Amino acid sequence: MLEAMRRIIQEVNSAKNLDHALNLIVSRVKQVIKTDVCSVYLCDTPNQQIVLMATDGLQPSAVGKVRLNLTEGLIGLVTSRAEPVNLANAQSHPQFKFLPDTGEENYSGFLCVPIVHHRTVLGVISVQQVEVRTFKEDELTLLVTIAAQLAGAIAHAEAVGDINGLHQGIRHNELDRPIKGLSGSAGVAIGCSIVVYPPADLEAVPVRKTDKPETEVKVFLKAIKATKKELTDLKERVTHLPEEDQALFAAYLLMLESKTLVSKTLERIHQGYWASSALKDTVLEHINLFSSMEDDYLRERAQDIRDLGRRILMHIQSGSKGAKTYHKQTILVGHEVTAADLMDVPESKLVGLVSSTGSGSSHVAILARALGVPAVMGAIDLPINQLDSKTLVVDGYQGNIYIEPSPRVMEEFSQIIQEENELSAELRVLKSLPSITPDGVHIPLFVNSGLLSDLPASQNSGAEGIGLYRTEFPFMTRDRFPSEDEQCKIYRQILKSFEPNPVTLRTLDIGGDKNLAYFPISEENPFLGWRGIRISLDHPDIFITQLKAMMLASDGLDNLNILLPMITSVTEVHESLKYIHKVHEELIEDGYKNICMPKVGAMIEVPSAVYQIDRIVKLVDFVSIGTNDLVQYILAVDRNNSNVADLYDNLHPSVIQAVKQIIQSASKNNVSVSVCGEMAGDPACALLLLGMGADMLSMSVVSLLKIKWVIRSFSYAHAKQLLEEVELLEDGVSVRKHLNDALSEAGLGGLIRPGKR
């Protein structure tokens, strides 16, 4: 059964569309379970029906026609209960309903399991048998496993409108089901997608149509010729290898001569597909054929075909190189969009970014924030290969992507874009005004930065300094550790750009999701692993070099603050301080008389540091609350996992209590406290932070004027009262609503964005 399951899943994973996948499933499951019927029904939610979409055993003509209400019959029972039903004699069940249109016989044995995706039942898979029988445990497991595998594929297909005949009378785009990801950069964008993908990766090639098949034919034939030459040369060069290995190249050449590979691809090009996707479909078809063979030797050949396919693809790609063309309003889409991909698009044309991997702390997301480009990251369900040249709405607030949305959604988001533009124009007047509450409390606003290219925007934002400079980015963009001198130059530029205002440089915070290619850390659980200060303390060589570079950069400036990430104990603070003092003393001894001792702060972003806050504040000059990590560690919600993104809540009552405790302890000890996580840039959260008595807030440039508006509109006393009110509430949703109501009442409703309502 296990082997059968593996095969079915493999076949289904490479099916060319959902229809194909469903038909494969029903016929394979029927064979494996040796039953009389296997069928798949899918939910047509807008019409409140469940529809027969594929069957092996019932009348094929009933497909798409048999529609039941969502609670009707045994199929409805499984759908509404969202749990399997296994009956020896279905007909004796009170909810049994005979479906004459399906050509149903007197089936007794009945097993049906729901297909569930993110808590929603998308449909069911059922098997039926004439004989009275209860299906066995492993047969149930087979169906449950296949249903789980199928769920994602159905969600994909729904998102791109690839399920023919399911939603009766409703056009696909009227469904408006967003694909969920994580917010990478706040804001909303509407544009046309361009899929970026790594070279020579067959699976990554998007489906793309061409209106110039003749050109594509030429490109393809040229690539075949080049591949033949490459293989012939290789074959001649490897005569020293055993004959068996040499034979591989001869086999490749034979495959290249074979009619099927070449002519099938040409056929697809003539149907209107560009050479790369025509080749991809042909090669994947061959791979599937070989992968499903019983014979081990033949099954292994699938790898050879893949390799050959990649070689041809590489030649197609190098033959069709040229200046890339971008839409006027380009939204970059990819499995892993890189910073280089982003930089490649002319700034005037780039409006949005979507990546199926990564998170808000990915390099490319930071860059998007610096450029003010809305981004959604970690959208794992994104059907990337089918997303080329599609109209997309990117909701960077909520982390949602709408594919080919309805006029209603387009209208709603166009309105938001317009409102945002108007709001930005209005807020611009605040740039030169102080960040002071109506009752006279000054809350300086700082920016978070990580790239030198951020600097002009940061300097131009009205910020009073840099509250968090993530030093890991210069490390991530190199292929080796940057030298002391290289680091020093970067830090000096940053310190000078805000001088005499303070600039907080955070020591290296790698590990977690921020890895250096040249310092790989492979761990089962990286966020609980070797990261931040733990690495620095274990590698005094790296730590001392960085501290020295920071202090040398501050020579004669006196605006350097050093911030220590991921502090989990008092011991780590003591040890770090020892290094900092030592480096400073040595520099003074070396004659650098104008290097002041920097202020040193601890990031409070781990619950253990919250519980030891009274001790920590006595050791440092300031603390900075890293709410991005604090929230993930308090709530046990991975900040980079879109499956649990809904549970990640800055306003969870436990988070509020933790942040309040930190601020109170710092204030009591006269230590300045800032907030530098995303919470600081969220208007509702900023209101609470004001009420708690935070001394300063640090955020991405795009949020700065919005938060200044909040500060200038709410007195400290009012914010304090709001804090007391929300402390009586039991969940984050109620807290957000209460704060949003307060924003609206004060005339700041324009700051409340979708998903934050």
Catalytic residues: 363, 676
What minimum distance in Å lies between the beta carbon of 483 and ligand PEP? 23
- Residue 341 binds which entry of ligand PEP, Mg ion, none, CB below 5-8 Å type-dependent: none
Q: Note whether 626 binds Mg ion by CB under 5 A.
A: yes
Beta strands in 103-244 (DSSP E): 109-117, 120-129, 179-180, 182-185, 188-196
What gap in Å lies between CA 225 and CA 230, rounded to an integer? 9
For 372: left if phi > 0, alpha if psi spans -120 to 50, otherwise beta; the answer is left
Query: What part of residues 570-629 is at the interface with ligand PEP (CB under 6 A)?
Result: 605, 626-629
Q: Are 396 and 189 in contact (CB under 8 A)?
A: yes
Q: Note whether 158 binds ligand PEP by CB under 6 A.
A: no
User: Which of 502, 604, 611, 515 is closest to 559 using CA atoms?
Assistant: 502
What minimum distance in Å lies between the beta carbon of 602 and Mg ion? 12
What minimum distance in Å lies between the beta carbon of 605 and ligand PEP? 5
Task: Rank residues 193 and 561 by Cβ distance to ligand PEP and give the closer one.
Answer: 561
What minimum distance in Å lies between the beta carbon of 79 and Mg ion? 43
Task: Tell me the C-alpha to C-alpha distance, in Å, between residue 619 and each of 578, 579, 610.
Answer: 12, 14, 14
- Residue 681 binds which entry of ligand PEP, Mg ion, none, CB below 5-8 Å type-dependent: none
What minimum distance in Å lies between the beta carbon of 361 and ligand PEP? 5
- Residue 684 binds which entry of ligand PEP, Mg ion, none, CB below 5-8 Å type-dependent: none
Beta bridge mates, 209: 273
Query: What part of residues 550-569 is at the interface with ligand PEP (CB under 6 A)?
Result: none
Query: What part of residues 348-367 is at the interface with ligand PEP (CB under 6 A)?
Result: 361
DSSP tally for the chain: helices H, then strands E: 26, 22
Task: Rank residues 143 and 658 by Cβ distance to ligand PEP and give the closer one.
Answer: 658
Task: Tell me the C-alpha to C-alpha distance, in Å, between residue 129 and each of 88, 91, 105, 324.
Answer: 9, 12, 9, 57
The DSSP annotation for 700-717 comes to -GGGHHHHHHHHHHS-HH
Q: Note whether 128 binds ligand PEP by CB under 6 A.
A: no
Residue 261 CB burial class (10 angstroms; 0-12, 13-18, ≥19): buried
Q: Note whether 629 binds Mg ion by CB under 5 A.
A: yes
- Residue 464 binds which entry of Mg ion, ligand PEP, none, CB below 5-8 Å type-dependent: none
Tokens (6 digits) for 518: 């040249």
Binding mask 580-619 for Mg ion (x = CB under 5 A): -------------------------x--------------
Kindly give, in sequence order, each residue whose CB lies less than 8 Å from that of residue 724, ignoring residues fewer than 6 positions away.
none
Biggest alpha carbon–alpha carbon distance for the chain: 96
What gap in Å lies between CA 78 and CA 111, rounded to an integer? 10
What minimum distance in Å lies between the beta carbon of 699 and ligand PEP? 10
Continuous H helices in 259-402 = 259-270, 275-291, 296-319, 339-344, 363-371
- Which of 223-233 are b and which e, b meaning 16 or more Cβ less than 10 Å from the residue's Cβ? bbebbbebbee
Task: Rank residues 261 and 567 by Cβ distance to Mg ion and give the closer one.
Answer: 567
Task: Rank residues 393 and 631 by Cβ distance to ligand PEP and give the closer one.
Answer: 631
- Residue 158 binds which entry of ligand PEP, Mg ion, none, CB below 5-8 Å type-dependent: none
Binding mask 463-492 for ligand PEP (x = CB under 6 A): -----x-x----------------------
Q: Note whether 637 binds ligand PEP by CB under 6 A.
A: no
Task: Rank residues 262 and 603 by Cβ distance to Mg ion and give the closer one.
Answer: 603
Q: Are 277 and 205 in contact (CB under 8 A)?
A: yes
The DSSP annotation for 625-675 comes to E-HHHHHHHHHT--TT-GGGGGG--TT-HHHHHHHHHHHHHHHHTT-EEEE
Binding mask 675-714 for ligand PEP (x = CB under 6 A): -xx-------------------------------------
Task: Rank residues 626 and 681 by Cβ distance to Mg ion and give the closer one.
Answer: 626
The alpha-carbon radius of gyration of the chain (Å, integer) is 30
- Residue 361 binds which entry of Mg ion, ligand PEP, none, CB below 5-8 Å type-dependent: ligand PEP
Task: Rank residues 121 and 468 by Cβ distance to ligand PEP and give the closer one.
Answer: 468
Angle of helix 732-745 relative to helix 683-692, nearest 10 degrees, comes to: 90
- Residue 470 binds which entry of ligand PEP, Mg ion, none, CB below 5-8 Å type-dependent: ligand PEP
Task: Rank residues 5 and 645 by Cβ distance to ligand PEP and give the closer one.
Answer: 645
CA torsion angle 16 17 18 19 (round to 10): -90
Task: Rank residues 207 and 573 by Cβ distance to ligand PEP and give the closer one.
Answer: 573
- Residue 700 binds which entry of ligand PEP, Mg ion, none, CB below 5-8 Å type-dependent: none
Task: Tell me the C-alpha to C-alpha distance, in Å, between residue 110 and each of 37, 103, 724.
Answer: 10, 16, 57
Total residues contacting ligand PEP by CB under 6 A comes to 11
Q: Which residues bind Mg ion (CB under 5 A)?
A: 605, 626, 629
Q: Which residues bind ligand PEP (CB under 6 A)?
A: 361, 468, 470, 509, 605, 626-629, 676-677
